[in-house]
Amino acid sequence: MSGDNTLYSNVRCFIDLIDDLRDIGLQQYINLPRICVVGTQSSGKSSVLESIVGIDFLPRGEGIVTRRPIEFRLVHLVGDGDTKAYAVFDNDGQKFYDFNKVRDHIVKLTNKDAGENCGIIDSPIILSIHSPNCPDLSLIDLPGITRVPIKNSDQTDDIEKLTRDMAMKYASDHRTLILAVLAANVDMSTSDALQLARRADPQGLRTLGVITKIDLMDRGVDASHMILNDDVPLRLGYTGVKNRSQKDINEGVSISQALENEKEFFDNHSVYKNLNPSLFGIPSLINKLTDVLFLHIKHLIPDIHNELIAKTKIVSEKLAAIGDNVPQTEAEQVQMLWALIADYCNIFASTIKGKYTARLQTMFEAEIAVGSQIRGIFNELLEEYVGKPITSGMSNHDIDQAIRLHEGDSLPGFPSLDTFEFLILPYLKKIVPDVFSCLDKINSTLITLSNNISNRVFNRFPALGSEVLNVSLEIFKREYDVTSRILNDFITSETTYLFTNDSKYLLDNFRIMCNDISDKEDNSSNVKEPQQRTITDKASQMVHAAQQKISKAWDSMEKTRYSATFIKEIRRRLDCYFEIVLRNVRDSVPKIIGKFLVRKILENMQFEIYSTLNKQPQLGLLLGEPPHIHKERMALKNQLEIMKRSICIIQRDGNFNNANNLEPSITFEVSTLLKTMHFKNKTGHSRHENVNSKHDSNRENARNEVRDSKINESNTDSGYKFDKCHTNPYYSSRFDRKEYMKQGFHSSRNPIVGNPLFDH
């Protein structure tokens, strides 16, 4: 028995580890390694599974038989051939020794949940099978891909999409190995199983193909090109099998006899008998699946452990956010009330000030940068006026006419202040709505923030959250009204009282005056009056000239009275003053809103909320917890407990520390022992053996072959020879490639060599 334990312990330990994690419920939170079987309806999936298990137990019939996923957990029982196999359904401790009753129970469970009229559901049946004749594997059988619904059934017209989506759900997980079952008499390029596997596993790293119905191909045609990985390459290759026909099943041909028939078929076939024996038969398929799953689990254990650590931290933080049960004493309730209000106000202030806190990051998955939003609103205030002169829409005639309209009955030629006000006030009034719009945007942003934080902080206590939000809105309204009045006074003074001490404007005004004086001096220097003229002549000429100008002006009021240079200077003064007002408003409005709205709210919020709520006569009513919070807390506690137990299971298992450090010789020994269970040596035996036969002599041969192979390794550098160790060389950590090539198989057809999944 010690030899049996040695044989299976190294393989079973990893599968037991995953089964333990699955048994405690980790599968609902983290995907665990498994093998899913995909294929079209009637592709032979059920026959392949029964041959692997070595027991006839699956329902059969016309149309879709597998109508819900069935998860098989195969457990090899170490013992003699008299050890009886049994099955156990999940959440049911009853052991079924009669596998006809297992078949009936599968049908019963399927009809119970999926209905008796051929309905399909995605709710797996979990079935553990313990047998001395089955390998240690975890597989899940899926409903076959179906294109047309059965007439008068519960199947809908989208049955193809339903079955494909269900298969993709399982196959797309990177921790799931794909066993793609396809018939040999169907074109591989149109195989639904391979198309689905290609979508889920584009590189073909975790897909193993199974070619069924090889015996049903037309005469003169064989599947060698498919088996040798020539048509649609898979890194794990293909295995050809011969299942029982419907006639065999009707005649009661046992699985053991079917395996003998399979062996005889491949031994005597003119093409297949010349190919590598490991490419054919259920025993070879079992070998591959066992080794592939073993190495796959070994490779993924560290990754599963790391994911567990990360998710445990997240669940712990969520549980801490929900908190413990509500306290009963008034003092504890007041303390909780103060803590919740402080939490609410601190998060509110942190988001506005841009502070990073772990609490904030825990409660909000997406970043909340309200401070930057407020700054963005301030930056956008009156941005459309920046750098754009307001007089660009005024013509010289408009400015000239405005000056003339406000000259009144005084001496002409001197524009009044009314002219300046007449031209600029309409533009100043345009900025008033934008100022109050800015205030409204900031206020709305704060209200939205308050709602979001309240929903998270007071998630446990909706009544308390509602009261806190009401008090907050009252504070917002009060400070909004105060800020609005201050803004109104400010913007009124800016848009109705024209004054500035701005140096730029004063310098421009001084420059205009200097230009006027210079122009007068230039004009006076260019006039040369004859000294002989008398003062009377000069006066007479000046009066006459003035009369002519006035007459011409009255004749044509549309003509510009003032020079273009003068109007240009007026235009410049208008633009300059508007720029000054614009700058003042863009600087002062954010300060007013920030000081009298945002800062005032932050200063008063916490104390006012607490003072208001603390006056409530029945504080316990505000701290009432709704039922869904209690359920969420219990669910998180259960999830956290499962994850902590899973971490302990992984860390307690000795294979966790050795998952990436197993020596090749150990892996080779396990692999070799598994192979020799199912393949006898060449001396006096066939290359196939029924997996249901007794294993005692084979195990002894296996141990001898391992010992001989190790001796051979120590005496030669050529590695393990194919003719020395009668196993599939794919699974050897070291083998003679030249010897392997002599068998007629190129490394490109080797399903294991070069696959990252099997790098030790």
pLDDT one-digit tens code per residue, 703-755: 344 344 433 433 333 332 323 333 333 333 333 323 332 333 333 333 333 34
The domain made up of 2-307 has a fold known as Rossmann fold (3.40.50)
d(Cα 587, Cα 62) in Å, to the nearest integer? 81
CA distance 215 to 226: 14
Is this model's pTM higher than 0.95 or not? Answer: no
Contacts of 448 by beta carbon, 8 Å cutoff, 6+ apart? none
Q: What is the mean pLDDT of each run of 10 residues along the chain (760 residues)?
A: 48 75 78 86 83 85 74 80 83 85 88 76 86 84 78 71 86 89 86 88 89 86 88 89 84 86 89 89 89 84 88 86 71 82 90 76 65 91 86 73 65 66 85 94 94 86 88 95 96 88 64 52 48 54 57 48 74 86 93 95 91 74 74 86 86 62 38 37 35 39 42 36 32 32 34 40
Distance CA 722, CA 705 (A): 12
String of b and e for 90-129 (b: at least 16 CB within 10 Å)? eeeeeebeebeebbebbeebbeeebeeebbbbeebbbbbb
CA angle 8, 136, 122 (to 5 degrees): 160
C-beta of residue 167 within 8 angstroms of C-beta of residue 180: no
Interatomic CA distance for residues 467 and 474, integer angstroms? 11
| CA–CA separation, 396 and 379 (whole Å) | 34
Which CATH architecture describes the domain 330-624? Up-down Bundle (1.20)
Distance of CA 292 to the CA centre of its chain: 29
Q: What is the predicted pLDDT for the residue at 303? A: 87
pLDDT of residue 712: 42
φ/ψ (deg, to 5) at 521: -65, -40
Non-local (6+) Cβ contacts of 404 within 8 A are 561
H or E stretch covering 71: strand 70-76
Please state, in angstroms and rounded to a whole number, the distance separating the CA atoms of residues 429 and 432.
6
What ranges do the domains of the chain cover?
A: 2-307, 330-624, 664-758
pLDDT of residue 107: 87
The 3-class SS string of 549-613 reads HHHHHHHCCCCCCCCHHHHHHHHHHHHHHHHHHHHHHHHHHHHHHHHHHHHHHHHHHHHHHHHHH
Cα 428 to Cα 581: distance, rounded to the nearest angstrom: 8
